[in-house]
Amino acid sequence: MVEKPAMNPLVKLALELGPLVAFFAANAHWNLFVGTAAFMVAVLAAFVASYALTRRVPLMALISACVVVVFGGLTLVLHDALFIKLKPTIIYSLFGATLIGGLVAGKPLLAVVFDQMFSLTEQGWRKLTLRWALFFFGMAVLNEIVWRTQSTDVWVTFKAFGVLPLTFMFAVLQYPLLTRHEAGAEQSGQATGS
């Protein structure tokens, strides 16, 4: 089996944050429509760079890029900010629904995505997948609340500087679940009779 090239974590972070930074900077300097165009270009560039570095197409990144292009394109063509504001709601809802669909089908999809990073029991993967699905649904609702009740500038700031810290904080809060359901730890605990 050929091993897939691993991406440097700092490069991965730059590719994930770069489009958001481009969006925020262009919106701050010009307007939402220039920001949307910059976001679309940056997302596509990040996607191409990611593929060039790893020689694989991550499904979630592909879905994200497609939604950005479609909704960003609608925003620019119709000159209506509604579409770019709906994009996060749709992406979060798709991610949440995909994770729930995997659970219903008996296949916790996070186990496929993070199998090489974590070694969890089947119950651990199910719990983690359910938590992330609920988080994504919560983020979809939060995006709806922010864009419907706040100015476009507040929404852009939330998108650029609120989403990542919330996601990071949620991920950190999953650490106890990861340690409690670690496959090796549970097996060694059973072996020692604890």
When divided into structural domains, the chain yields a total of 2
* Residue 193 belongs to some domain of the structure: no
Say if residue 94 is in the same domain as residue 64.
no
In angstroms, the CA 71 to CA 90 distance is 10
CB 109 within 8 A of CB 99: yes
For 75-100, the pLDDT digits (tens) are 999 999 999 999 999 999 999 999 99
- Domain residues for 25? 1-78
pLDDT on residue 177: 92
pLDDT band at 4 (very low <50, low <70, confident <90, very high): low
In angstroms, the CA 107 to CA 112 distance is 9
Domain boundary among 25, 60, 78: 78
**pTM of this prediction?**
0.79
Question: Looking at per-residue confidence, does 6 or 67 come out higher?
Answer: 67
In angstroms, the CA 38 to CA 72 distance is 10
Say if residue 70 is in the same domain as residue 89.
no
